[in-house]
């Protein structure tokens, strides 16, 4: 089986951070299927300096931030193979997927942007602080806030582990809702959802919200530039 080369094992520090990460309070709502989602996180950890000083006083570090998730996008191996930035091994893996399932086999692509915000240090044990934040969020009824218990120096690994697990939990709901609206249906060799996205990009380009190059990239990745070229060139005649 062909696949991208990976290290035989992770760095022990990363493995430790993954093993120690706990989701104390998960979001109460799945990732949105037909729009973007903003998830607010609170990563609670023991400060890296804990244990260095002979002091009974316990501190806890809290990191606040947001993860912005774009609307899940239906893609195919053929689409991904036309994307830039992949090496030889990744291309071989896409070839393998294409040969096994077909170049038009559809899946979901999730894109995220992590936006760290502030950090504060408070008194108390991390587990107690995390539980307090969880209870406050429950009382306030905030569905898209999460509380993580992580490792101070590798807190972003904790966020990544959360994103991975949350995506897996949301994927079935997203897939079913897209399927209910027939977004996986083939329209001229392209999923209906992709046609919708292409049309949306054209409209945004016509309003000068995005550069026309983004439209060109999407058309090229789907291999449908010839089909849309007249509409594309009209973007420059306005």
* Per-residue pLDDT at 89: 65
Work out the average pLDDT over 89-108: 73
Which H helix or E strand runs over 52? Answer: none
- Kindly report the backbone phi and psi dihedral angles of residue 187, in degrees, each rounded to the nearest multiple of 5, phi listed first: -125, 95
In 3-state terms the chain splits into helix, strand, coil percentages (rounded to 5) of 45, 20, 35
Q: What tokens does 150 get? A: 């992580």
Could you give the CA distance from residue 186 to residue 102 in angstroms, rounded to a whole number? 13
Which tens digits make up the pLDDT trace of 120-144? 999 999 999 999 999 999 999 999 9
Instruction: Please report, for the chain, the start and end positions of each structural domain, with discontinuous segments joined by +.
Output: 9-72+110-182, 74-106, 185-238
Which tens digits make up the pLDDT trace of 66-85? 999 999 999 988 787 776 66
Q: Is the pLDDT of residue 7 over 80?
A: no
* Per-residue pLDDT at 1: 34
Average pLDDT over the chain, rounded to an integer: 88
The radius of gyration computed from the CA coordinates of the chain, to the nearest angstrom, equals 22
Distances (CA, A) of 73 to 109, 137, 163, 196, 200: 5, 30, 16, 10, 13
- Kindly report the backbone phi and psi dihedral angles of residue 59, in degrees, each rounded to the nearest multiple of 5, phi listed first: -115, 160
**Dihedral, 78, 83, 84, 89 alpha carbons, nearest 10:** -40
Work out the average pLDDT over 11-16: 86
Q: What tokens does 96 get? A: 């393998």
Q: Is the pLDDT of residue 32 over 50?
A: yes
Could you give the CA distance from residue 67 to residue 70 in angstroms, rounded to a whole number? 10
Which H helix or E strand runs over 164? Answer: helix 155-180
* Local confidence band at 94 (pLDDT 50, 70, 90 cut-offs): low
Q: What is the value of pTM for the model shown?
A: 0.80
Q: How many CB atoms lie within 10 A of CB 229?
A: 12
Which tens digits make up the pLDDT trace of 178-212? 999 999 999 998 999 999 999 999 999 999 999 99
Give percent of the chain with pLDDT exceeding 70.
Answer: 87
Residue listed under structure tokens 């002091």: 55
Residue listed under structure tokens 């429950």: 138
Residue listed under structure tokens 């501190």: 59
Could you give the CA distance from residue 75 to residue 190 in angstroms, rounded to a whole number? 9
* Per-residue pLDDT at 61: 96
* Local confidence band at 234 (pLDDT 50, 70, 90 cut-offs): very high
């Amino acid at each position: 089986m062909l696949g991208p080369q990976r290290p035989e094992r992770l760095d022990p520090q990363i493995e430790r951070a993954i093993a120690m990460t706990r989701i104390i309070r998960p979001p109460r709502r799945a990732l949105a299927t037909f729009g973007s989602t903003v998830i607010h996180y609170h990563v609670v950890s023991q400060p890296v300096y804990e244990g260095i000083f002979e002091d009974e006083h316990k501190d806890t570090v809290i990191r606040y931030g947001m993860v912005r998730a774009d609307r899940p996008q239906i893609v195919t191996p053929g689409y991904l193979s036309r994307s830039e930035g992949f090496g030889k091994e990744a291309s071989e893996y896409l070839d393998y997927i294409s040969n096994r399932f077909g170049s038009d086999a559809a899946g979901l692509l999730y894109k995220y942007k992590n936006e760290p915000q502030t950090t504060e240090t408070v008194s108390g044990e991390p587990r107690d602080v995390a539980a307090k934040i969880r209870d406050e969020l429950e009382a306030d009824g905030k569905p898209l806030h999460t509380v993580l218990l992580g490792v101070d120096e590798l807190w972003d690994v904790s966020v990544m582990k959360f994103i991975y697990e949350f995506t897996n939990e949301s994927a079935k709901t997203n897939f079913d809702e897209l399927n209910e609206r027939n977004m996986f249906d083939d329209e001229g060799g392209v999923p209906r959802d992709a046609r919708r996205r292409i049309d949306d990009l054209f409209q945004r380009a016509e309003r000068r919200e995005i550069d026309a190059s983004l439209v060109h990239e999407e058309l090229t990745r789907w291999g449908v530039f010839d089909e849309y070229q007249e509409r594309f060139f009209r973007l420059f005649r306005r």
